[in-house]
Structure 1
Amino acid sequence: MVNVEIKGGICGFTTQVYAEDKTGYKASFRLESKCPNWKKVDAFLGGKELNMMTELFKDKKTGALNSQVMEVSLKMIPHVSCPVISGILKALEVSVGLALPKDAAIKFIK
């Protein structure tokens, strides 16, 4: 199980992502958040088995992105620059061994 904490920024919401390997490049996730929009995403996708090759990579033949995480998030989250979208995908990627766990950050320099 991979656990990631994401601080959304000025909204003040913190979201916990729990991603779990289901073997064969399949994984699922659950979210804990006070953000009402991320609660909707969790209700729709939370616990659903997802194919990580489809979630993380564009189709080689068509170049199309067929990610359910991206599709659902962009429909339900009004703020498309929310870092939770990236955090979910990164947690899933690490959970199946396609990446190593390493903190990432967005830092504003004055």
Structure 2
Amino acid sequence: MAVVEISPGICGFITKVTVKKINKRVVEVNIETDCPNIKKVAGDIKSIDVYKELFCKLHETNIYKTLIKGMAHPTCLVPLGILKGVEVAADLALPKDATINVHS
């Protein structure tokens, strides 16, 4: 299982993603979010075929195609955070925090 907490920045809408491995190819995704845009489509992401999702281009993933309907900004970190959770839950990566630091 993987739990990913996504703090996307200035919008302040926290998203928590829990990903559970069902078998070698399939994970179950649960998304809890404060974001009203992501909330509208989060329920459409339930079961993910790991290999179809992780071995294609970002814009071709079902996660991205589903979330783009609700995302307010193309720089939203939620799709990437979910994909990272899928990768860890499927035992294709070790859990490790990833960060983006923005300075001006």
Which piece of structure 1 moves more, 11-20 or 69-78? 69-78
Match of 2:33 in 1: 33
Contact preservation (8 Å) 1:94, 1:101: yes
Asked whether 1:102 is paired with 2:102, we answer no
Q: Deviations over 1:55-108 (max 9, x none)?
A: 1112xxxx7964210111122212121111100000011001011101000002
Q: Distance in 1 between matches of 2:15 and 2:93?
A: 21
CA distance in 2, matches of 1:6, 1:85: 10
TM-score between both structures, scaled by the size of structure 1: 0.85
Amino acid corresponding to residue 47 of structure 2 in structure 1: E
In the comparison of the two structures, how many residue pairs are matched? 104
- Write the distance in 2 (CA, Å) between the matches of 1:19 and 1:56: 14
Residues 1-110 of structure 1 mapped to structure 2, 5 A cutoff: 1-45=1-45, 48-58=46-56, 66-110=60-104
C-alpha distance in structure 1 between counterparts of 2:22 and 2:29, whole Å: 10
Higher Cα Rg, which structure: 1
Amino acid at match of 2:87: E
1:25 deviates by: 2.1
Give the TM-score normalised by structure 2. 0.90
Between the two proteins, what is the percent identity of the paired residues?
Answer: 38
Runs of 4+ deviating beyond 6 Å:
none
